[in-house]
Amino acid sequence: MLFFLLYFAAILFIVHIIFNYNKRAALIRKIPGLKDHFIVGNALEGVKSPVDLFRFGRELAKKHNGIYRFWCFPIGAVFIYNPDDIEIILTSMKYHEKSVIYKFLKPWLNDGLLLSGGSKWLDRRKILTPAFHFNILRRYLVSLNDSADRLVDTVNKIVNIEVDLVPIVSECTLQSICESAMGTKLSDDTTGKSYKTAIHELGLLLVQRFVRIYLYADFLFNLSSLAKLQNKYLSIVHNFTRNVIKERKKYVMDNGIDLSNAISDSTDDVNIYRKKRTAMLDLLILAEKDGLIDNAGIEEEVDTFMFEGHDTTAAALTYALMLIANHPDIQDKILAELNDIYCDTKRAVTMEDLNAMRYLERCIKEAIRLYPPVPFISRKLNDDVQLSNYTVPAGTLCHIHIYDLHRLESLYPNPTKFDPDRFLPENVAKRHNYAYIPFSAGPRNCIGQKFAMMQMKTAVSTILRNFKLLPVTGCSDLQFQSDLILRNSKPVICYDAIYFRGLQCTPCDMFADYDNIISIVSLKQSHPDTTKLNDRNCRASFVV
Ligand code: HEM
């Protein structure tokens, strides 16, 4: 018996030596990190709830100095959140391949721009870049204004009830990207509804898989009930995309539309935008005619833009609105800027207005510094690389923690303070070029960042031209969970507020009509500070 025990112990010891004392392990384990356990290294540290995992990551970032590592044979990962190392990784095409973390998106997005690599990625990026040219972005403004107006209508309908802000904002961003990427309005008919539900459910399924390490292996995931659900929703989403593309191609053919002219036409007549606002999809159809992409390629790109283009902006808008609600002085400054731009008119947002919203832009930039919608990105290192004086061997995963970078005291003194003036040009000039990367940076940066900024400015300014925001959820109420997007966890009761109840909004109107004038009376009694809103009159308060 003793012999067998000794024999077993010797085998474990040999396994431990093989796993933890090979050349790769030696290099990775030189980097500061958690204490290694016998054989399994740091594997057990990852077994935590999504909320605890997020919190644990922040604790590790505080404890270390811009870099730490994870090791569990054969998986090695470095976590970096200092601008020098981030610059090395993001500027080099050598390290632009996405890590295994992204593979869960593959069944949905296939080889679209987010996931593809090498020459395929380069070719597609070239095809799609013109879709974000200034003249094309102008056209999307029609959809962005429509979506912002619908957001205001939705808010107006839910007076006096407490609802979660996230789905309302997501609906708005989903509509916008759908109209821009596909040229299709998401109607409330059965097809539109089931597409929206399917996209939402797919997002949730991704999260569920992401936090269950035992489902990382495809063969185990495929046996699970989650896989069945995923297939069901994928088929709805893919069928919808296929139909939209088919219909648009038919429309182009039946009406003899010359896409090359339609896309290059830079006229700024709004009615023409309305007819031609499918630029993203049209560009792809044009590229297919030139033999640069096939139908399957168009489908994966449209799916990619639908995914990347709505959840991210929804998260950004949610946190921006929350922060503005919690900082009345900043909200007043934004209003003053909007009053200067719009004076007494109710007109829609134009490109010139967006350019004039300089203070609002700083507020949004500061909001996504504090709450970057994509809190981390990840690369596979195909070559050895020197990071913070450590050699990181090829094959290691490199997680770039945008959230922790954006909260470094050395880059942002008093980092948790919401201070839009950090983005005054003179302050930006003093910082490292890679100190602020909500949209990533380098050749694989976010292709949709200008669109996203336009969308956020349009939505926030439209909301603020209609409502005063009062706080319900504060920054300290937020409790994030590990996810691809910075997402708050389930509601948790705290004082009288529920996490992510969102905002208390007071409908008001810069351009008081009869209805609103009647209402001022009732509001002024309960909210005396409404008078701060210049000449804007308000009628009631409610919680959104
Ligand atoms: C506030 C909103 C947004 C944020 C914070 C954001 C952030 C990011 C980040 C961090 C990446 C790099 C991902 C990585 O390296 O793994 C990325 C890539 C990408 N984003 Fe965005 N994004 C936003 C909005 C959008 C929008 C509106 C679109 C589409 C219109 C879009 C389309 C894409 C695409 C296609 C990629 C992949 C680019 C490539 O690899 O070449 N994003 N985004």
Counting residues of the chain whose pLDDT is more than 70, the rounded percentage is 84
Residues in the chain, overall count: 544
Residue 463: both structure tokens together: 């909301």
DSSP assignment of 190-247:
HHHHHHHHHHHHHHHHHHHHHT-GGG-SHHHHHHSHHHHHHHHHHHHHHHHHHHHHHH
Q: Assign residue 480 a region: left if phi > 0, alpha if psi is -120 to 50, beta otherwise?
A: beta
Q: Are 309 and 199 in contact (CB under 8 A)?
A: no
Residues in CB range of 416: below 8 A, 6 or more apart: 370, 407, 475
Report the SS3 class of residue 26: helix
Q: Pocket of ligand 1, candidates 96, 172, 312: which has the most ligand atoms within 8 Å of its Cβ, to mutate?
A: 312
Whether the per-residue pLDDT at 190 is higher than 50: the answer is yes
The pLDDT-based confidence of 355 (bands split at 50, 70, 90) is very high
- In this predicted structure, the answer to whether residue 317 has a pLDDT above a threshold of 90 is yes
Q: Is the pLDDT of residue 456 over 70?
A: yes
Distance of CA 109 from the midpoint of ligand 1 (Å):
14
Any bridge partners for residue 504, and if so which? 470, 543
CATH fold label, 81-510: Cytochrome p450 (1.10.630)
The pLDDT confidence band at residue 500, using thresholds 50, 70 and 90, is very low
Binding-site entries for heme: 446
Delimit the domains of the chain by residue range. Answer: 1-74, 81-510
pLDDT of 544 over the 50 cut: no
Task: State which H helix or E strand residue 543 sits in.
Answer: strand 542-543
Average pLDDT over residues 332-356: 93
Give the separation between CA 266 and CA 344, rounded to whole angstroms. Answer: 29
Tens of pLDDT, residues 468-482: 888 878 888 898 988
What sign results for the dihedral spanned by CA atoms 189, 190, 192, 198? positive
| pLDDT over 80 (residue 495) | no
Tokens, residue 507: 């409908």
CA pair distance 301, 175, nearest whole angstrom: 17
| Residue 429, C-beta contacts closer than 8 angstroms, at least 6 positions apart | none
Task: Give the pLDDT of residue 520.
Answer: 18
Give me ligand 1 centre to Cα 480, in Å: 20
Q: How big is the CA angle at 383 (ends 379 and 388), to the nearest 5 degrees?
A: 75
Minimum mean pLDDT range among 40-54, 259-273, 517-531: 517-531
Which residue's CA is the nearest one to ligand 1's atom 16?
Answer: 377
Q: What is the pTM of this model?
A: 0.87
Tell me what the mean pLDDT of segment 36-54 comes to: 85
The beta strands (E) that lie in 402-516 are given as: 467-471, 480-481, 487-488, 493-494, 497-498, 503-509
Q: Answer for the pair 60, 54: CB distance below 8 angstroms, yes or no.
A: no
Find the range with the poorest average confidence among 75-84, 324-333, 340-349, 397-406.
340-349
- pLDDT given for residue 497 in this prediction: 30
Ligand 1 atom with minimal separation from the 373 CA: 5
CB within 8 Å of 426: residues ≥ 6 apart? none
pLDDT at 354 over 90: yes
Q: Is the pLDDT of residue 269 over 60?
A: no
- Identify the CA nearest to 470 among candidates 538, 422, 522: 538
Bridge partners of 514, per DSSP, are none
b/e map of 246-268 (b: 16 or more CB within 10 Å)?
eebbeebeeeebebeebbeeeee
Q: Which residues lie with the beta carbon below 6 Å from any ligand 1 atom?
A: 98, 113-114, 125, 177, 304-305, 308-309, 312-313, 316, 368, 373-374, 377, 438-440, 444, 446-448, 451-452
Residues in a beta bridge with 506 = 468
**So what's the pLDDT on residue 543?**
34
Judge whether residue 198 has pLDDT over 60.
yes
CB of 362 closer than 8 Å to CB of 420 = yes
ipTM: 0.99
Residue 47 or 148, more confident: 148
Q: How far is the C-alpha of 512 from the C-alpha of 395, rounded, in Å? A: 63
Q: Are 88 and 100 in contact (CB under 8 A)?
A: no
Atom index in ligand 1 nearest the CA of residue 443 equals 41
Whose Cα sits closest to atom 42 in ligand 1? 448
Annotated binding site: 446
**Helix pair 328-342, 311-326: axis angle to 10 deg:** 110
Indicate the top mutation candidate among 308, 380, 455 to test ligand 1's pocket, ranked by most ligand atoms within 8 A of CB: 308
Strands 397-401, 497-498: pairing is unpaired
Closest-CA residue to 280 (of 296, 294, 266, 259): 259
- Cα–Cα distance between 116 and 286 in angstroms, integer? 21
